[in-house]
Amino acid sequence: MTTSERLIESTRELLWERGYVGTSPKAILERAGAGQGSMYHHFKGKPDLALAAIRRTAEELRAGAAGVLHGPGTPYERIEAYLTREREVLRGCPIGRLTMDPDVVASEELREPVDETLDWLREQLAGIVEEGKEQGQFGPELDGEAIAATVVATVQGGYVLARASGSPADFDAGVRGLLGLLAPRSAV
């Protein structure tokens, strides 16, 4: 792996663990096994390196979610697969958590990939809900975009519950509640 790659990967890990404000260039360099000079040669500074790291994490998240959302199964099953997907719950969402970082939200550039990712996720889910409505699996009264927002919010909020208690089961409880509400009548 090149030094530049190692810097990006180390930054991704630290952003996930400690957020942007809690991550120092020094910590990144130690983890990457590089000196100050390397970082400032490849990147303009901390924000520039963080941007590269966030963009890569966003891409990875989208790719992973797309695999589940556009996989096999009925609309309900695909939403269920997304919600019950294996996650490192106690680590939180590597993208969603950045919204609680004051310096990320304050920077148009750093916030952009975060916004784009969550937006993309909601679009995919909204499409699946509409598909389910056409197939009669979901009632016509459901608002695809609103349900999509609820699904994403339940996941993001599930991380909050789990990290507060230290127990992944609290994430699962939120998901279980939502799936119960979404379940096609015939399946209840």
Residue numbers at the binding site for its own copies (CB under 8 A): 17-19, 21-22, 92, 96-97, 99-103, 105, 111, 114-115, 118-119, 122, 141-143, 145-161, 163-166, 170, 173-178, 180-182, 188
Cα dihedral angle (174, 175, 176, 179), rounded to 10 degrees? 130
Interacting partner of 47 out of DNA, its own copies, none (Cβ under 5 to 8 A depending on kind) = DNA
Tokens encoding 11: 């930054």
CA of 120: how far to CAs of 29, 50, 55, 61, 126, in Å?
32, 21, 14, 11, 10
Task: Give the closest residue to 91 by CA, choosing from 141, 162, 169.
Answer: 162
Alpha helices of the chain — where are they, by DSSP H? 3-18, 25-32, 36-42, 46-69, 75-84, 102-106, 108-134, 144-165, 169-182
Residue 23 vs 117, nearer CB to DNA? 23
Residue 26 vs 91, nearer CB to DNA? 26
Residue 77 vs 103, nearer CB to its own copies? 103
Interacting partner of 35 out of its own copies, DNA, none (Cβ under 5 to 8 A depending on kind) = DNA
Question: How far apart, in whole angstroms, are the C-alpha atoms of residue 142 and residue 182?
Answer: 10
Interacting partner of 89 out of its own copies, DNA, none (Cβ under 5 to 8 A depending on kind) = none
CB 89 within 8 A of CB 155: no
Binding interface with DNA (CB under 7 A): 2-4, 23-27, 33-38, 40-42, 45-47
Residue 35 vs 136, nearer CB to its own copies? 136
Interacting partner of 107 out of its own copies, DNA, none (Cβ under 5 to 8 A depending on kind) = none
Interacting partner of 141 out of DNA, its own copies, none (Cβ under 5 to 8 A depending on kind) = its own copies
